[in-house]
């Protein structure tokens, strides 16, 4: 159908606009839900246009809504400035195979006055293959970065915390379990480890006037002497209301490491934000190996 009343076409039947004339489905991304329009199917994503707003987690849902309309039906993203433009960009990436920059360029060409927002989240969406994978390290790191913006760290979303491995009946054969070296209490699984790009080594610590104990690779020592993990449920009492502190074993209270929402430096020199750091010397790896119908644990 032809563009009407300020409607800006992006794809056949898909518009970014300020008015809803001639459309049968409306997707609104705004802090307030608009009035219902008779005969028009609607989806509302409640989201403020501000730092820390999580649009990424809703992109798959938005794309599914836009894709659900039969060919020839007009779909409208209201009001076509920052949030809605970002949603349409994600839709183009997912359905048209465009890269993030290509999708943004197409939208700028169609609607020059629409400033695509949430570009960092769009690039992360592209990095995840245009599908929100809540189990990926990229997504977990993103959720933690969002959590840092919570005032006083008092109201952390529950999904930020990994499940306490003591509450799981069985650990997958593909995962490694990490236990307190002193009391053997299960602490976290290998899927909770958030990898980081290796830093530049001792030269990164020049400002501290110290030489880290972990030296460059090749001399038999590890550069990274700690695991940086997502927060686990047993850590929650220590994390709430404070920006940094120690991480103690919940069973024997031996010191395992430390945390800082502002970030901390790994022994390899890389700065990690936020940082939930467990020293490798304080835990043991337990690998579950299937043997016939039995399983053995190897430490």
Q: Which residues belong to the active site? A: 77
- By DSSP bridging, strand 226-228 and strand 186-189 are unpaired
Whether residue 236 contacts residue 154, with contact meaning beta carbons closer than 8 Å, is answered with: no
Report the candidate in 92, 112, 110, 116 with the shortest Cα–Cα distance to residue 102. Answer: 92
Whether residue 38 contacts residue 87, with contact meaning beta carbons closer than 8 Å, is answered with: no
CA 213 to chain centre: 32
Report the candidate in 123, 146, 151, 118 with the shortest Cα–Cα distance to residue 240. Answer: 151
Cα distances (angstroms) measured from residue 261 to each of 47, 148, 191: 24, 6, 21
């Amino acid at each position: 159908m032809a563009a009407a009343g300020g409607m800006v076409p992006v794809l056949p039947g898909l518009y970014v606009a300020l008015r809803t004339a001639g459309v049968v489905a409306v997707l609104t991304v705004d802090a307030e839900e608009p009035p219902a329009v008779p005969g028009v199917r609607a989806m509302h994503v409640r989201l403020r246009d501000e730092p820390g707003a999580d649009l990424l987690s809703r992109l798959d849902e938005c794309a599914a809504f836009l894709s659900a309309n039969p060919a020839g039906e007009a779909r409208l993203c209201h009001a076509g400035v920052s949030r809605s433009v970002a949603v349409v960009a994600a839709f183009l990436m997912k359905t048209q195979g465009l890269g993030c920059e290509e999708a943004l360029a197409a939208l700028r060409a169609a609607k020059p006055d629409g400033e695509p927002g949430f570009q960092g989240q769009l690039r992360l969406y592209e990095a995840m293959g245009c599908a929100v994978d809540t189990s990926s390290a990229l997504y977990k790191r993103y959720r933690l970065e969002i959590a840092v913006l919570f005032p006083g760290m008092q109201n952390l979303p529950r999904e930020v915390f990994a499940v306490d491995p003591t509450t799981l009946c069985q650990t997958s054969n593909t995962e490694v379990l990490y236990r307190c070296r002193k009391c053997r209490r299960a602490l976290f699984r290998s899927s909770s480890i958030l990898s980081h790009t290796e830093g530049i080594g001792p030269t990164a610590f020049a400002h501290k006037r110290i030489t880290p104990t972990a030296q460059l690779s090749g001399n038999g020592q590890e550069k990274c002497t700690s695991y940086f993990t997502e927060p686990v449920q047993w850590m929650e009492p220590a994390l709430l209301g404070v920006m940094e502190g120690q991480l103690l074993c919940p069973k024997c209270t031996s010191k395992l490491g430390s945390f800082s929402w502002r970030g901390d430096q790994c022994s390899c020199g890389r700065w990690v934000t936020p940082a939930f750091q467990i020293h490798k010397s304080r835990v043991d790896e337990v690998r579950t190996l299937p043997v016939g119908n039995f399983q053995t644990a190897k430490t």
